[in-house]
Structures are given as C-alpha cells and as structure tokens.
Structure 1
Amino acid sequence: MKTHKIIFILALSLVFSSAYAQKGKIRQASKEYDNLAYLKTSEILLEVAEKGYTSVDLLQKLANSFYFNNQMEEAAKWYGELMAKNENIDAEYYFRYAQALKSIENYEESDKWMKKFADSDRSDLRGRAFSSTVDYLAMIDEVSREFEVVNLDINTEVSDFGTTQYQNQLIFASSRGGGQKYKWNEQPYLDLFSAEKQEDGSYGNVEKLDGDINSKFHESTVAFTPDDQVMYFTRNNYFNKKYKKSEDGTNRLKLFKATLNADGKWDDIESVHFNSDEYSVAHPTVNVKGTKLYFASDMEGTLGMSDIFEVDINADGSLGDPVNLGPNVNTEGQETFPFINSEGDLYISSNGFNGLGGLDVFVIRDFENKFEAHQPMALENVGRPINSPMDDFAYYENLGTKEGFFTSNREGGKGDDDIYSFIIPECEQTVEGIVRGQDIQGPIEGAKVTLLDEDSNKLNQQIVGVEGAYKFENLECEKEYLIRIEADTYATVEERFTTPKKKQKLGINPLLEKDEVELEPCADLAKILDIPIIYFDFDKFNIRRDAEVELQKVLAVLNKYPTMNIDVRSHTDCRGTAAYNERLSNNRAKSTRQYLIKNGVAADRLTAKGYGESRLVNDCGCESTDDSNCSEAEHQLNRRSEFIVTSINGEKCPDN
C-alpha cells in the first residue's frame, strides 16, 4: 500500500513538472515569436503541440509560424486544429487557413473557408472579390497559357529573387554573399548581384554589385530610371552606419536613391523623403517615361498588410507625395512587388485577390492611362505557368527583347526562392465560326465572309463550303477587327470585335436574317419583313411619327409589287366599351389605309377593318381579368395594326 502511494506521488510530480516545462517552453516561444524568429518558434511550439498541449493561442502562433515561412502543408494542418476547437477567433485566420489550403491545391475546402471569411465581414475587399467570382479557377484556366518557364542557372540553394535588367545585366537579390545570418530564415543577409547576359541569351558571371549599395543588412529589388543614371533600391533601415528601429522594436525597410558617377560607380546614396522608422517602403519600379515611381508600403492610409503606391518623379529628380492606388489595386491582404511595363500595364503580386495560392501575379492592362483618366480598371490573374499554388512574385518583362522573369518558391526549385525566366509568347488570334440563317437549321453554303481592320480595310476573304465554316488565323492581339458576312437572299451581317491579350480561338457565329422572302397570299408583312407593330396612342387614331416610319416600309413593298392587295387590320385594348373600341379600331384602320392612299397606293388595292378588342394578343381582357394587373406596355401591345396579303399575282388568300 505504501509502495503504491509513493509511485502515485512520483507520477503526479512528473505530471506537474512536465506541465511546468511545457508552459516555460510556450513562454520562450512567445518571446521569440514576438521577435519574428519564426523558424525557432515553430520548433518549440511544434514540440509542445505534438505532445498534446494545445490552446487557441499556441495553435495560432504555431500555424502562423509555418504560414509566414511558406510551409503551407504544415500551416493547413495546424490551422485545421485551430478551427476544430470551434472557438471564437479572428476572421483573419479563416483567410489564412483558406490560403494554406489553396497552396496545397485543396481548392474545394479552401472555398468553404473563404466563404466563411467573406460572410464574417461583407466590407472586406478580399471576401468581396471571392464572392463576386466564385468560378475564379475556371477564369484562371481561361487566361492560362502554354509556355516554358526555366529555372535560371544562377539560382542557388538559398534565396534568389527580384529581377531587373540594366543594360546587358540582370540585377537581383540573393543570400549567397555569406556573412551574418538573418534569424528569420537562418540565411545570410540579402545583397544585390549582377549577372551578365551571354551570347546564347543565358545569364552568368554573377558578381556582387559595385559601390556602396550593399551593406551588412538586407538590400533587394532595384529600379532604374530610363536614362540609366539613377537607381532606386530597397534596404533595411540602415543609413550612414546607423541601424534604426521603430517604436515596437522592428527594423523596417526603406527606399534609397543612388546616382551613377563619372567613374561608372553608384554613389551619392540618399533616403527618399517619405521613408519612416515606423513603416516600410520597398520594391520600386519606374515607368518608361521616368515620371512615376511605384512601390509597396504599409504607411498610413494602407488598406491591408501592404499596398501599392505611386509618386511623381519631378523634372529635377525630386519626388512628390505618395498616392495610394486605391481599392482597384489594393485589399486588406498583401499587395507588393509592383512592376510597370513599357505599355503602362501594372503587374503586382497579391494574396488578397482570387488566385491559385500564396502570392499570385496580377495585371491591370493600360493602368497608367486608365488611372489618370479615372476610368474603370480590370485586374486579371495572369494564370499558369507564372502562377502556382505557392508564392509567385517580382514579375518583370522586357517587351523589346521578349524576356520575362519572376520569382517563385514552387516545388522543384533549387533554393527557398528561385528566379524563373520565360520568353513572352507571341500573341496571335484565330477567329472562326459557322454561317447559319435564322430560318434554317443547317449552314448557309456559299456565304462570303470578309475580315476587315478597324478602318474597314479588307484583310482577307473566304467563301464557305457545305459546312458553312470559316477561319481566319494569325490575327494580332488587342486589336479591333470587323467580320462581314454576306449571302444571297439574306441581310448582310457585320460584327466588330477586339482580340484579347492572350492567345486563343474566338468563335463568332451570327445568325443571318432572311432578306428575300417569297410572298404568298395570307402572309403577314409585319412578320415577313420584321416590321414592328404600328401603335396608336390611347383613345387616338392619328398616325404617330414612329408609326409613319413603319408605314413607309409597307408603302415600299406595295410599290414594288403592284399586283399585291392587302387588308389593314386594326385592334384596340380592352379598356372602354366593346362598341367604343370597335369604332376606334375602325377609325384607326381607315386612318392607316388613308395614309397609304395619300402616298400613291390605289384605293382598290386596300381594305381596312377594325376588330376592336376581339383579338387580344395577351390576357389583358377587362371582362375576364382585372385590367389593373396589366401594365400600360401590355395594353399597348393590343393597340396595333396588321397587314395581311389578300392577293398577289391573281392568287387570293382563302381567308378573304
């Protein structure tokens, strides 16, 4: 008995000791977590969680440590554990869980949590973007293209990212330089490097950038002015050998400007005037005119984790005041790594809009012109193969050389982040279709299809065969064209269209309306010739101006076919007495007949009769239904005239 009691006490002591040790580790982890040492945090928190000691706070920090280090499979696992606790948590965790699930391509489950996130805050731009395009995966598939992306030979086992071309060099950031390690990822601090373009188009001879650009802390992401004389680059808050932190103890990122001196060295480094110790400014890009600088920041006025801003570059090289690009570009998530190409298209990386997972690359075509003119803008996911379930960012392209670059931590890379290159695919369009008529099921053989440019200059022409098919290839992208289709006995059809940016086949299949119809007795001219109903105003029988236009069509038909006789039939709606309506319709029929006679049609070719309310075309009968249920438009449908061919070429309609 005594022995059993001793064992119990020892066991209980071990339990308390173990629990105390776990709490100590949690406190240690929390301290390191607050210092953003995520890799060390995850090791400690993971050890605790795997022993069954979990809490909402621990799971949040553990899942976050994996999430912010792009270990999405583990992040999804622990966010899932957090959600299983079914406790009241910040909706931002729904978003992160959805992003982590998306990164491991569990899109169906991801969409469930994105819906819950969207429902939690109807005003959040990320949720609204999701709700407005629930078929976003199909839309991404539509814009995806087939071309090869190449992992550059200059990549290493550490982080390499963020490319910009400078003359015959590729400038990028890398941790390959050695030296002091950054505690976030246990890799050396980033420096800027150059790689020289080789004769075969590859890049090699990697060297650290000359001058005083690189320091013992982080440098990354470079932009040059069009004259190649000024460089903007990102660096930690370290300047003139002073390392500064914000009030919460964080060393932020800043933008710096360097000028090329007479010896070809970068010097005269200065901090841009809107830098601050309290927020980050990073990832510059300059437009082709050298008048605008775009960058990412979490400065005051930012909608989310980071936003894209623009600032004027004045003629003297000074910078204006930053302007947030607003909710067409930014969300409550992370928008970063802007790039403005030579055509004014703005590329960004974001996890706030619908994508394949992590950061995706998006584009707003013709952004600069639209932003300046306050015109609507459409943000597009650039699709695969540039985007993947992992982080894809730092897009850059040279439309002159057709070279493109981006950075990704996708599977199959050499290091944490790798630089990928691609040749911008030629964008050619194909337009094709089948020529059919509205009155027949099959195609129209022998139709002539003409392709014209926006100024109606003929580019190509085809005569379709028995299948009615036409096809024009090698059209340019983002250009306006006109298709004209002509066929015997049919009205000519024209359709103007603008080809999209991506390569695809466009289908244009208009139905041709019959232009030549065999006229027979009893035919209704209104239906054959698509003549709208001749309407009269309520309680009136005078010819309205719009009715006169249509009667001129009837007049033209009667003049073309002198043996044709017609019966003009007028009708009313149900309002008023039957006797009144019959009298009114007779007056309308006579008024119509008189108009045709006045315009040269022989009186013996025309008969006219009013049918009152006896032949309604809808259920607006006042005796059978409450006419208050019918709108004025519905009543007007009954106030009409018809034109029935009573005879032609001596053949009579048996109904007359």
Structure 2
Amino acid sequence: YKATLKDSTNWSDATEVPFNSDSYSTAHPTLSADGKTMYFASDMPGTHGQSDIWKVSISDDGSFGTPVNLGTGINTEGKETFPTITDENELYFATDGHPGLGGLDIFMSKVNADGSYGEPQNIGTPANSPQDDFAYLIDTKTRKGFLSSNRTGGQGYDDIYKFTETRKLICEQVLAGVVTDLETGEILAGAKVTLMDDKFNKIKEIMSDAEGKYDFGMVECGKIYYVRGEKETYETKEQKVTISKESGKTDLPIQLEKKVKPVTVGDDLAKAFGIKIIYFDLDKWDIRSDAALELEKILDVMKQYPMMKIDVRSHTDSRQTHKYNQKLSGRRAASTIDWLVANGVEKARLTGRGYGETKLVNKCADGVQCTEEEHQANRRSEFIITGL
C-alpha cells in the first residue's frame, strides 16, 4: 500500500500499488535514497524461486512503472526477502538460497553505476547466525542499525537487535596514477588512458589532467585489468595490474617513451622501439590477439617512417622436422606480412622469409628437454630494417 503523510503524525489516502494481486504476495517495500525506485519482495510470475527481490520505478507524479526482477545474480531458487537500499547504493537482503550460516542470512550487493549488481556478499557473523536473520537497516552516517533474528538467546520468536558496524563490509579500491615522460619525468597532460578487462575489452577511457593525473574511480577488488596509455609522439604502452583484495588505492604510474629514435639499416625494429616479440602458438601461424597489439606498434612506426622497409624474419622452435619447421616459419612470415598489408602498409616495403629452427635463441635444439616457455621464445618474428 501507499499512503500520504498529511502532517507530522497523520497518514491518509492509503491505496494499493497497481501490481498487487490476490494470486501472489508483494511485501517489504523500501525506497532508494532519491525516492525514484522501490525495491520489494514477491513471488509474482517471473520469480525464480520461492520469493525474489524486485524493483519498480516511481515517476514524478507518483505513478509506478512495471516491476523488474533483479535477476539470477541476486535471486535464487530459494527465498530472497526483506530488501533495503542505502544512500551508498548498497542493497541488503535476506536469503536462504545463497551459501550462508543457516536459515535466512543477510547479504549485501553493491549497485554499480550502470545499474548492474555486484556479487552478493554474506555480511558474516555476528550479524548472521545459524538461525534466521533478516530486516537489516543501517544509518550510513553513524554506521548504527537494526536487524531481526530468531537466534538463540532472544526474548521471543523474532527479536529486534541493534548493532554498530565496525568495518566496511565490501572491499573498495580506486585505480589512479600519473602519466609522465619515461626519460625526463615530465608530467604529460592530455594523455589518453584506457581501462580494459582481462580480455582487453574497453571499460573506460579518460584523459590525464593538467597535472598528468588520471583516476578511474572504483574498480573491483581482486580483478586483473589492463591499462593503456597513449599520447601523440609517444609510444603506446599497456600495463597489467592486479587489484588488491583489501580496500585502498592502487597507484599505477604510466611512463611513456618518445617515438622518435635514431634507427639505422640492420636494426631490429622491435628491439629499437621496445616492442615485444611477436610470438606464435605451437604449429600455428595465425596472429594471436596479443601479437596483434604488438603489430599495431610496428604499424605505427612504419607510418612515422614512410620510406622505411623491413624484412620479416620468422622462426620456429626445434620440435617437428627441419623441413616442416621451414614451411611453418614461411607461413608465419607470410601471415605477419599479410596482416601489415591489410592494415595499410604497402607490400613493396615488406620482404620476409622463414628460418625454421636454424636460429634458435636458446639451448632448445633437437633432443634437449625444455619448458614450453623456452620453446615459445624460439617461435618468434623479427623485423629488420632494410631501408630508410
């Protein structure tokens, strides 16, 4: 039901919400801090278990939208009930469907900026017990609150308990840093900094400020990210960062290296510009995703030096026969050249051949026991400058 507060003590105009029904229950309503969303528990059609957490939008005129189930990240085949949403976008609810201490346990899920929900976290003891614990309510300023429970030691079947929160329940991490020139240490304002997940999918893109600082804000604890720094006249740089599982700040400085460097015929382009070796998988000649990222840097250098010509030299490890490896390395050289041509390099600027296993960089010749990493070091392409 919905009612209007006429004065400090009197309520009136109690009316049913439009999605009530005699066929199912709707219970435990709670409002978001801005009053625009109501969360509630129900076993209405579309429920995944015995009861689920739902939400519904509230318009400026007080009318309601269509209820939306929060999905299987929150709801289970069991019972989800007693939701509470704080002004810190933390959704608390009771459930017997997520792994807990027994009966109903209180869980919390962070509501992300995009409206998605973080993985529910059991708030643990002493708030939860082997019995039913529910109806969690907290003042985010004082960190004091109340919950209900039928735990041992109460005065009745269900009792109300008060508590003070002594530590944040979730891990909160901020990812930030400063972009500088590798050689001089000069602050680099206006650098593009991109946050990517562990699959190199772009999450966020920002620019460094006048002090060279960038700040991605909150990131997920315990996650692996990649951060890419880019600026005109500088080499693009990517760094892997693993976020701590404890609350705090991850500082990731980005040092960019100038593109313009003296090079001469005979230099290995990859070594001259600090580009990683282009590796291939065993018995394969297709361009891996990590290799494509490095080839983009080769491409960038060749655009800077429009007269530059390179010889692509591809190598294999010693496994398989000499004849097979010679053919395989030839395919790898051709594959690398094809990628560069497809991305805008004139074919006349490129030559290449395969060297098979004739130029190993380590001890891993025929019959020598080596690790996969040692063998992979031999499966590579090199880029030798033949003309400027």
Contact persistence 1:535–1:547 (CA under 8 A): no
Match of 1:370 in 2: 114
- Deviation string 1:215-247 (CA, Å, 9 cap, x unpaired) is xxxxxxxxxxxxxxxxxxxxxxxxxxxxxxxxx
Change in 2 beyond 3 A, CA 1:427/1:274: closer
Structure-2 residue corresponding to 1:278: 23
Residue 400 of structure 1 is matched in structure 2 by 141
What is residue 112 of structure 1 aligned with on the other side? none
- Structure 2 residue aligned with 1:637, among 361, 379, 382? 379
Mapped to 2, the partners of 1:412 and 1:395 lie a distance apart of 19
Which of 95, 104, 107 is the equivalent residue of 1:350? 95
Cα gap change, 1:263/1:379 in structure 2, threshold over 3 Å: closer, same or farther? closer
Structure 2 vs 1, CA of residues 535 and 273 (structure 1 numbering), >3 Å: closer, same or farther?
Answer: closer
Residue identity matched to 1:395: Y
Cα shift at 1:307: 0.8
Aligned residues of 1:334 and 1:350 also touching (Cα < 8 A): yes
Alpha carbons 1:572, 1:612 under 8 Å: kept: yes
**C-alpha distance in structure 2 between counterparts of 1:453 and 1:362, whole Å:** 26
CA distance in 1, matches of 2:62, 2:358: 83
Displacement of 1:321 = 2.4
User: 1:370 is paired with a residue of what secondary structure?
Assistant: coil
Alignment TM-score, normalising by the size of structure 2: 0.51
Q: Which runs of 5+ in 1 are unaligned?
A: 1-255, 431-451, 458-476, 482-493, 509-525, 539-543, 550-569, 585-609, 625-629, 643-656
Helix, strand or coil for the counterpart of 2:145?
Answer: strand
Q: For the residues of structure 2 that align with 1:391 and 1:547, how far apart are their CA atoms?
A: 62
Over the matched positions of the two proteins, sequence identity in percent amounts to 40
Number of aligned pairs? 257
Per-residue CA distance 1:137-187 (angstroms, 9 max, x = gap): xxxxxxxxxxxxxxxxxxxxxxxxxxxxxxxxxxxxxxxxxxxxxxxxxxx
Specify every segment of 5 or more residues in structure 2 that has no aligned partner in the other structure, as ranges: 180-216, 222-238, 252-269, 286-294, 302-312, 331-353
Of 133, 137, 152, the residue aligned with 1:411 is 152
Given that 1:310 and 1:324 are in contact with CA atoms closer than 8 Å, whether structure 2 keeps it comes out as yes
1:302 shift after superposition: 1.3
Aligned residue for 1:177? Answer: none
**Structure 1 match to 2:38:** 293
1:282 Cα deviation from its structure 2 partner? 0.7
The Cα of 1:340 is off from its aligned counterpart by: 0.7
- Any idea what the Cα deviations from partners look like across 1:461-519, whole Å, max 9, x if unmatched? xxxxxxxxxxxxxxxx96899xxxxxxxxxxxx9967676x76x9999xxxxxxxxxxx
**Which structure has greater strand proportion?**
2
RMSD over aligned Cα, in angstroms? Answer: 5.3
Matched, 1:388 2:129: yes
Q: In structure 2, what is the Cα distance between the partners aligned to 1:333 and 1:278?
A: 19
The 8 Å contact of residues 480 and 496 in structure 1, kept in 2 or not, is answered as no
Q: In structure 1, the residue corresponding to 2:114 is in which secondary structure?
A: helix
Deviations 1:180-222 (A, max 9, x none): xxxxxxxxxxxxxxxxxxxxxxxxxxxxxxxxxxxxxxxxxxx
Q: Give how far 1:349 is off.
A: 0.6
Contact 1:571 1:613 in 2 (8 A): no
State the shift of 1:640 in Å.
Answer: 6.3
Match of 2:69 in 1: 324
Report matched runs for 1:60-71 at 5 Å: none
Question: What is the alpha-carbon distance in structure 2 between the residues aligned to residue 286 and residue 419 of structure 1?
Answer: 21
Q: Is the 8 A contact 2:176 2:250 kept in 1?
A: no
Structure 1 residue 354: deviation in Å?
Answer: 1.0
TM-score, normalised via structure 1 length: 0.32
Q: How does 1:17-56 map to 2 (within 5 A)?
A: none
8 Å contact kept, 2:278–2:380? no
Tell me which amino acid in the other structure corresponds to 1:454.
A
Structure richer in helix, relative to its length = 1
Change in CA separation of 1:619 and 1:453 when aligned onto 2, cut-off 3 Å = closer
Secondary structure of 1:412's partner?
Answer: coil
Q: State how far apart, in whole Å, the 2-side matches of 1:425 and 1:265 are.
A: 37
Deviation at residue 414 of structure 1 after TM alignment: 2.0
Of residues 176, 181, 201, the one that matches 1:454 is 176
Whether 1:259 aligns to 2:4 is yes
Q: CA deviation at 1:305?
A: 0.7
Decide whether aligned partners of structure 1 residues 530 and 385 sit closer, same or farther in structure 2, where only a CA change above 3 A counts.
farther
Give CA deviations for 1:289-337 in whole Å, capped at 9, x if unaligned.
1111111111122111111111122212222222222212111110000
- Report deviation, 1:263: 6.7
Deviations 1:356-383 (A, max 9, x none): 111111111125x333xxx463222122
